[in-house]
Amino acid sequence: MTHYIYLVRHGEHQDAEHGMVDGPLSPRGRRQASLLADRLSGVPFDSVRHSPLERAAQTAQAVAERMPSVSPEPSALLFDCVPTGMTPDTPSAFEPFFNSVTEAEIDAGRAQMSDAVSEFLVRKRGEVHDLIITHNFVIAWFVREVLQAPEWRWMTLNQAHCGLTVFAQKQGRPWTLLSHNDMAHLPVELRTGLPEIYPV
Ligand SMILES: O=C(O)[C@@H](CO)OP(=O)(O)O
């Protein structure tokens, strides 16, 4: 009996290039969400939870349209957030980003991620399939947590729009990262949301 958690970053949103913090999916984002729904259509999901932001809610809706038995539910623990600040080990290339984030935002992000890990990374009994549709930084934090990597490393992990990351846990075993940012369901022109240059 295995508990699976499928983590997906929402599809591309319409006004991302204008710096808008939220918005509906772009036409490309709707295609990504539809291909994601095809990809996941054979999975017997027990739950679908998503960030309350519109781009994540619309991505969850696209999956639910293909699977009438699932009812997506929003969770405030899956909002976009910044889980930690700059540390002595963080690559200096990230300094401009962290300079733009306030201490209050980081405190809130840290508290949110602590609660999210307690809520979502908990072993459920039996064969379980949970889907989580959320944001790049939230998935990065969960992956870092499963790998037990130092805190600062979340910032170096990236997921494409509608990329698929899967965790699994067998009874009595730790969480395993089965796949990370799998984009096999997305044609090359829909593989968006990754950095053009990866800072190291
Ligand atoms: O703003 C971003 O780059 C990421 C951070 O998590 O958010 P989103 O996945 O919503 O694009």
pLDDT digits (tens, 9 = 90+) for 134-151: 999 999 999 999 999 999
Query: Residues 90-99, buried b or exposed e (16+ Cβ, 10 A)?
Result: beeeeeeeee
Q: Are 52 and 42 in contact (CB under 8 A)?
A: no
78 has pLDDT over 80: yes
CA distance 170 to 10: 27
Pocket test for ligand 1, best of 78, 135, 157 (most atoms within 8 A of CB): 135
Quick one: what percent of the chain has pLDDT higher than 90? 90
Amino acid at the residue 136? N
- Whether 111 has a pLDDT exceeding 90, the answer reads yes
Q: How many CA atoms lie within 13 A of 59 on its CB side?
A: 37
What pLDDT is recorded for position 92?
94
Q: What integer is the mean pLDDT of 26-49?
A: 97
Q: What is the mean pLDDT of residues 72-82?
A: 98
Query: Which of 114, 174, 161 has the alpha carbon at shortest distance from 142?
Result: 114
Distance (Å) from CA 126 to ligand 1 centroid? 33
Domains of the chain as residue ranges with CATH: 2-190 (3.40.50.1240)
Task: Determine the distance separating the centroid of ligand 1 and the alpha carbon of 137, expressed in angstroms.
Answer: 6
pLDDT(122) > 80? yes
From the alpha carbon of 80, which atom of ligand 1 is closest? 6
* Cα–ligand 1 centroid distance for 160 (angstroms): 10
Statement: residue 18 has pLDDT above 70: no
Q: How confident is the model at residue 102 (pLDDT cuts 50, 70, 90)?
A: very high
Q: How many CB atoms lie within 10 A of CB 28?
A: 17
Tokens standing for 191?
């593989």
Give me the pLDDT at residue 197, please: 84
Q: pLDDT tens across 150-194, in order?
A: 999 999 999 999 999 999 999 999 999 999 999 999 999 999 999
Could you tell me if 143 and 113 are in contact, meaning their C-beta atoms sit under 8 angstroms apart?
no
Task: Verify whether ligand 1 is closer than 6 Å to residue 161 (CB atom).
Answer: no
Is the Cβ atom of 136 under 6 angstroms away from ligand 1? yes
**Which is it for the CA torsion 128, 134, 138, 141, positive or negative?**
positive
